[in-house]
Structure 1
């Protein structure tokens, strides 16, 4: 090549390197991505949503103003007049912030609602909302909240963590979950029917202000008992129930926490009073990947179990909505936490007990409720929980206070541990033994380790995060290397069994009328040739829990959610290469490339390594397997792309292992060798051998080297001495003029040294 051509090639390679390498690093997530630009349609939609939210809040404020008792309006004669309640703007009822994404900042923003003194919404500052398509609009994830796209439904139920009071002399069960409008209609339609609940969730509470007139106050917490020092905020509401009990509710949010706290304080300064309270749990968690997921919303109850542990019980939204009169509840064991979850996130409320006695409880019944029944798909219904307390007694100088914790965040073991709910982060739907344990204690730590490696590599290029796509590839390679001995043993047993198929067919034809003799001859043949019929299945059975554990770990890892890799924008969702012009039955409206690649590699693997069919039954079995792969492609068409990446890496490893590593040498029985019956001398037909494969270039080169070496007299002398011979054995008993033959039957036998008998 001339110097001019070398210069042109050098310039072209330099240009490709300069332009392509930064793009590759950016697609792998190893360099900081540029600030995303929201498309005009997304900006318009966000503005429309904001306008709709402002209009809804304005309408609620107008409704709340009608509930305010003005001072100039005298109370009716014989009725207790209530104190004036000022309506506080929604902007003054915000805890936390969405602008601080530092590790020590607030994890989310809590919007409180003065009407009902509950939580209007909880919006995460760490996670984006679920999206479908090729563009991420980067909208914050709302973990708790009412669906503002359906104003009638959002106004039907009070906010999360709202409260009602009921009579303690009930039938031992909590009052049924009724919307405020339903309780009002029940009272209006039939005045003789007494509604036993004080509708504190439907009335306007007083927002307690400090000396500076602020509703939200700043807090500081000193480090104690392993709890680090932190800054926070709190807000309080107060009201007086119809039975004369004064109720104060206080919310507190701390920086760096995945949840918040709230207290219920009941007072009765003038006389003793008894009642029960009903607490509406947090609700409104969104469905992740609604068009492809099989996990929607589930209600769970965590109750105290013997030995201080926690027993977890979960029910899908389909079960709760289909229950009807058979209420899904928890009444036997003391409640430790309850709430709603989806595939990656959970929201729960947990009572804080004053003592460590496992028998202590504040609940009488915890019931699953249906907030909104989905008209088309019942399993997508919005569900929640309602806690009914035991009877509470208060009196002069004898107030009662109940403390609760609320968690709203990812289902990781570290985040759930402070609430005693670590089991929520474990995959609980598997039926394969040991698979959840392997996923929890083996696969997940390895995935964290490989992701940490990618973070270190990313830091070398100025990045701040790793890449989960590369981490999954490294994880697959590590798992395949750990299972390498089992895989090779399985392949060895498969080849040996395949080589014995002609003998097996002869035995089956000969002893088809004698089942006992057939079994004995079959096992004798296996024993003679070192074939273990279970040897090929046992490695697969050992690998099955590992594979299922890997599937569970990848399917529940919140780190894969919205993690990019190459053209994939979300490793927890299908890769969605492009949108189809029409919806396809069972497949949806997206074209996913990874499932097709997985099935294609499986077909290639079968074509390369599956032995040719020797019987019509084997040929039919191979055709059936090909059809099954097509069915598998449809079944796994919507699996997360992280799992597809694992399948592709695993298949490429298996193909490379069989092609590049030395092939297994199988010793087939020679012609006339006995088989079966423990070696009783009966002769069997020769085992059919496959046609010789033409040698490759490396084999030809090695043969030339051996031919040249055989011409050397020193080499011939060493070979003759090793064969036991010197001059006596040279060329006498060996065919071909003294050249050594490869007698496999004498392989491994000790040879006599020269000069010894």
Structure 2
């Protein structure tokens, strides 16, 4: 049967389309050559090489770090090609440690994964208490937990899952001075390189990664590569419970203020499409921070605080999944810096980018007081005072001298109450069955003599910001860490002088002497000040002022000895100022004459006292009306 013209034209067009498709998708000459080399290498494998490849398990290499059989490139490609793709040449090797160090920091970096295996801070120590209450000093190590991970997940064509994890690769090291280059090669000549440069001084490490030729083997990454960082914090400080409350992940958005994950519970912060300048895993006194030269694209940050998910020696787990803008061109470098060191405010501030925010001074007005008033003052005092306990004593004296004019007014007001006590007793006797009438006449008495029962509150109110600031300052300032004073061997934590049974509530198994001294002196000060005060209207207040220090003893018992030492010194100065001022400086007879003169003066109408008296009168009228009903 003859075909018509339309059928012939259709067949010709189909053939032309088929030939065109073959021409478009056909591999290039170089690709054909590379495929041929691969097929030839597979075909050329001997039976012995295949048997050796089959017997070589990846787990054996990870455990020993040594490749037991010297395989040819083709055998390695056959064994690891499905798992590592183009990175098969770096899938086996020998794990070695390379050391970079200066006077302050010693880094041990493993060629397996190219990560920091531990960082030793030479000028600091970890003190461990023994069962017999003795202490031993150990090197202070960061980033040393065996479960830690610091790996890039590189999506490679032909590899299932998320991609190749660099923690599984063996890097070839090149050491030049204090610069270490670690390179994981790919089939065809490209490589992934990590470069560490430790500065001659300080705790800052210049850290860069380089992608060379990886765009040829990478799957679509949308212009980002993920860094997965797991940092298990080990317990370093004596008070691990308090250390945990100061340990978390901090992060700095490029266009916003520093923020952090929860310090007390499990937490996850999903920072989608929010560029970050740095991410830092911070403990009470030490930090490991990764700082981008430019910015990280986004991150998901997770803290694990639940003890059921951690081992006994672990404080917290900090997990960071960070997106880096790299992986789109043939040759790329992404620059970063590592800070692995102490939370020294000035050192962190010199780095910039608000990295000093990891020092937990607080973010409110109290944090500002700590950063710009108390911290510089302690730095000044420590410049010529060698012992930080003495510096605390001098700070207490300076604060008391600063507020003494207000303290003097408070004591004068208290003395007025003491002078007027006989008159108040007469009023109470006159209105013994009428409490509101007694209160109204007492307020009138205060107005006539120019006295105020609230006159002693202002000095305490003005000192409260200092107290709240110091509450955050001592446990956050590394200046006081392991500083000795009297019986306390570390002013940044509690000063235990006696072990207590764990079943005693609120005491956490120990007794802090500075906390006890604070409680005792608080009771003495309260007793001395309240001897001439009238508690008939509120009798419970008389006993509460003695119960309160005992209640707070459990709270202060586990707090920083620096704070309880300050509070104890403050009480001692308060008692001394009160005794000297009331018995030597204030003349009660002259004060009595002055009060009589005030009584004789004409009084202005209105004011707080007048409004208070009017309110009491209204209350008295309402009570009388209710009684009639």
Whether these two folds match at TM > 0.5 is yes
Residue number in structure 2 paired with 1:628: 548
Tell me which residue corresponds to 1:32: none
Deviations 1:423-479 (A, max 9, x none): 42554547xx6322222222112212222222xxxxxxxxxxx21111211121122
Whole-angstrom CA distance in 2 between matches of 1:578 and 1:59: 51
**What are the superposed Cα offsets for residues 362-407 of structure 1, whole Å, 9 maximum, x if unpaired?**
4133432549964489994322322123463113xxx110011111
1:563 to 454, 464, 483: 483
Q: 1:679 to 1:352 in 2, by over 3 A?
A: closer
Q: Distance in 1 between matches of 2:447 and 2:360?
A: 42
Q: How big is the shift at 1:197?
A: 2.6
1:142-184, Cα deviation, whole Å (9 max, x unpaired): 122215xxxxxx2xx53xx32112489xxxxxxxxxxxxxxxx
Distance in 2 between residues matched to 1:621 and 1:84, nearest whole Å = 76
Asked if 2 retains the 8 angstrom alpha-carbon contact of 1:373 and 1:382, the reply is: no
Q: CA deviation at 1:636?
A: 0.9
What is residue 540 of structure 1 aligned with on the other side? 460
Residue in 2 aligned with 1:448? 379
- Aligned residue-pair number: 526
- Counterpart-to-counterpart distance in 2, 1:555 and 1:505: 48
CA gap of 1:73–1:634, structure 2 versus 1, over 3 A, is: same
Distance 1:84 1:266, change over 3 A: closer
For residue 76 of structure 1, what is the aligned residue in structure 2?
78
Return the alpha-carbon distance in structure 1 between the equivalents of residues 390 and 277 of structure 2. 39
Task: State whether residues 301 and 330 of structure 1, in contact with CA within 8 Å, keep that contact through their aligned partners in structure 2.
Answer: no
Looking at structure 1, the residues matched to 479 and 381 of structure 2 have their Cα atoms a distance apart, in angstroms, of: 13
Give the direction of change, closer, same or farther, for the CA distance of 1:495–1:264 in structure 2 (3 Å limit).
same
The CA distance in 2 between the partners of 1:390 and 1:448, in whole Å, is 41
Check conservation: 1:605, 1:655, Cα contact below 8 A. Answer: yes
| 1:94 maps onto 2:16 in alignment | no
Matched, 1:388 2:323: yes
Distance, in Å, in 2 between the alignment partners of 1:546 and 1:344 is 22
Query: In the alignment, does 2:204 pair up with 1:204?
Result: no
- Alignment of 1:258 onto 2:260: no
Q: Could you tell me which of 491, 495, 505 is aligned with 2:411? A: 491
Mapped partners of 1:329, 1:270: distance in 2: 28
Range 238-247 or range 443-452, more displaced: 238-247
User: 1:118 offset after TM fit, Å?
Assistant: 1.2
* 1:116-265 equivalent positions in 2, closer than 5 A: 116-132=113-129, 135-146=134-145, 154=147, 157-158=148-149, 161-166=150-155, 194-201=160-167, 203-209=168-174, 216-218=175-177, 233-240=178-185, 246-265=191-210
| 1:278 is aligned to 2:226 | yes
Distance 2:61 2:387 in 1: 45
1:343 to 258, 264, 284: 284
Q: 2:299 aligns with which of 347, 362, 365?
A: 365
Task: Describe the SS at the equivalent of 2:129.
Answer: coil
Gaps of 5+ in 1: 1-57, 97-104, 148-153, 169-186, 188-193, 210-215, 219-232, 354-360, 455-465, 681-757
Query: Whose helix proportion is higher, 1 or 2?
Result: 2
CA distance in 2, matches of 1:609, 1:540: 14
Other-structure match for 1:181: none
CA distance in 2: counterparts of 1:282 and 1:76, whole angstroms: 32
Distance 1:588 1:256 in 2: 41
SS in 1 for 2:468: helix
Unaligned runs of 5+ in 2: 1-58, 606-629
Cα distance in 2 between the residues matched to 1:68 and 1:363:
42
Q: CA deviation at 1:561?
A: 0.6
* Contact 1:563 1:569 survives alignment (8 Å): yes
- Give distance in 1, aligned partners of 2:598 and 2:459: 31
Partners of 2:311 and 2:399 lie apart in 1 by 39
Supply the distance in 2 between the matched residues of 1:68 and 1:387 (Cα, whole angstroms).
Answer: 37
What residue is the counterpart of 2:26 in the other structure? none
Match of 1:647 among 560, 567, 577: 567
Match of 1:108?
A: 105
- Residues 303 and 507 of structure 1, relative CA distance in 2, 3 Å threshold: farther
Question: Retained in 2: the 8 A contact 1:247–1:265?
Answer: yes
SS of the residue corresponding to residue 567 of structure 1 reads: coil
Specify whether residues 652 and 67 from structure 1 end up closer, same or farther in structure 2 by C-alpha distance, changes over 3 A only: farther
Q: 2:353 aligned with 1:416, yes or no?
A: no
Contact persistence 1:524–1:677 (CA under 8 A): no
CA shift, 1:129, in A, is 1.1
Cα distance between partner residues in 1 of 2:347 and 2:252:
16
What is the alpha-carbon root mean square deviation over aligned residues?
4.0
Q: Does 1:314 align with 2:260?
A: yes
Shift of 1:317: 5.0
Deviation at 1:65, TM superposition (A): 3.0
Q: Is the 8 A contact 2:249 2:301 kept in 1?
A: no
Residue in 2 that maps onto 1:25: none
Deviation at 1:89, TM superposition (A): 5.7
Query: 1:550 offset after TM fit, Å?
Result: 3.1
For the 8 Å contact 1:365–1:389, the answer to whether it is kept is: no
Counterparts in 2 of 1:311 and 1:244: CA distance versus 1, 3 Å: farther
CA contact (8 A) 1:372 1:383 kept: no
1:68–1:86 contact (8 Å) kept in structure 2: no
Deviation at 1:678, TM superposition (A): 4.0
Q: 1:281 to 1:350 in 2, by over 3 A?
A: farther
Helix, strand or coil for the counterpart of 2:321?
strand
Q: 1:478 to 1:90 in 2, by over 3 A?
A: farther
Instruction: Report the Cα offset of residue 567 of structure 1.
Output: 2.4
Is this contact kept in 1: 2:181–2:194, CA < 8 A? Answer: yes
Q: Which range is displaced more, 248-257 or 267-276?
A: 267-276
Aligned partner of residue 311 in structure 1, secondary structure: coil
- What residue in structure 2 maps to residue 439 of structure 1? 370
Cα displacement (A) at 1:313: 0.8
Moved more, 474-483 or 67-76: 67-76
Residues 436/532 of structure 1: CA separation in 2 closer, same or farther (3 Å cut): farther
**2: CA distance between counterparts of 1:139 and 1:263?**
32
How far residue 540 of structure 1 moved from its aligned partner, in angstroms, is: 2.0
Match of 1:732 in 2: none
> Given that residues 362 and 472 in structure 2 are in contact (C-alpha distance below 8 angstroms), is that contact kept between their aligned partners in structure 1?
no
Deviation (angstroms), 1:671: 9.5
- Alpha-carbon distance, 1:560 to partner: 0.8
Please give the alpha-carbon distance, in whole angstroms, between the structure 2 residues aligned to 1:522 and 1:261. Answer: 73
**Secondary structure of residue in 1 paired with 2:567:** helix
Contact 1:439 1:549 in 2 (8 A): yes
User: In structure 2, how many angstroms separate the alpha carbons of the residues matched to 1:258 and 1:140?
Assistant: 16
Select between 639-648 and 550-559 the one with higher mean Cα deviation. 550-559
CA 1:137 to 1:243, structure 2 compared with 1: closer, same or farther past 3 Å?
Answer: farther
